[in-house]
Amino acid sequence: MLKKLRLAHFKGFAEFEITFDRQAVLIGPNNAGKSTIISALRLAAEEVSHARRRNSRDRFSLDGNHWAYGHQLSSRVGNPSGFVGENIRHEFRERETRLELTFSSGATLKSLWPVEEPPFFSLVNADGSTIHATAAARTATPSIGVVPTLTPVQHRELILTEKYVKESQTTRLSSSHFRNQLYYLKSADIDTYFDLVDFILENTPEIQDLSLESSSAGDAAELDLYFTETATRSVKELFWAGDGLQIWLQVLTHLYRHREAKTLVLDEPDVFLHPDLQRRLVNVLEERSQQWILATHAPEILAEARRDSVVLVDRTRRRARPLRDAKSMEQASLSLGSGFNLGVARALRSKVALFVEGQDMKVLRNVARVVGAKKLAGEKGVAVISLGGFDKWSQAGSFATLSTSLLGDAVKVFVILDRDNRTEGQSFDVANSLSQSGVHCHVWKKKELESYFLIPPVMARLSGAEVSLVKELLQEAVDEQKVDAQAQFLYRRQTDLVGKSAHAMDVTRAAIPEFDKWWNDKDARGGMVPPKKVVNSLNAKLAAAGFKPVNVRSISNNMRAEEVVPELRDILLKIEAAIVGI
Sketch the domain layout of the chain as residue ranges.
1-143+260-336, 151-255, 339-451, 456-558
Q: What is the pLDDT of residue 497?
A: 64
| 339-451: CATH number | 3.40.1360
Q: What is the pLDDT of residue 560?
A: 94
Cα-based distances in Å from 93 to 90, 112, 273: 6, 15, 39
**Each residue's pLDDT tens digit, 91-107:** 778 888 999 999 999 99
Q: Kindly give the residue spans of alpha helices, DSSP state H, lying in 79-118.
A: none
Topology of the domain covering 1-143+260-336: Rossmann fold (3.40.50)
Instruction: Return the amino acid letter for 250.
Output: Q
At residue 379 the predicted structure's pLDDT band, cuts being 50, 70 and 90, is: confident
CB 223 within 8 A of CB 213: yes
pLDDT at 377 over 80: yes
CA 205, 207, 208 angle in degrees (round to 5)? 95
At residue 330 the predicted structure's pLDDT band, cuts being 50, 70 and 90, is: low
Distance CA 394, CA 9 (A): 51
Instruction: Give buried/exposed letters for 289-307 (b at 16+ CB in 10 A, else e).
Output: ebbbbbbbbbbbbbbbbeb
Domains 1-143+260-336 and 339-451 share a fold: no
Distance CA 529, CA 446 (A): 9
Burial (CB < 10 A; 0-12, 13-18, 19+), residue 14, is middle
pLDDT at 338 over 60: no
pTM beyond 0.75, yes or no = no
Q: What is the pLDDT of residue 76?
A: 46
Strand, helix or coil at 272? coil
Q: What is the pLDDT of residue 138?
A: 94
**Each residue's pLDDT tens digit, 522-579:** 888 888 899 999 999 999 999 999 999 999 988 998 999 999 999 999 999 999 999 9
**Each residue's pLDDT tens digit, 229-265:** 887 889 999 999 989 999 999 999 999 999 999 999 9
Q: What is the pLDDT of residue 30?
A: 76
Choice between 110 and 30, residue whose per-residue pLDDT is larger: 110
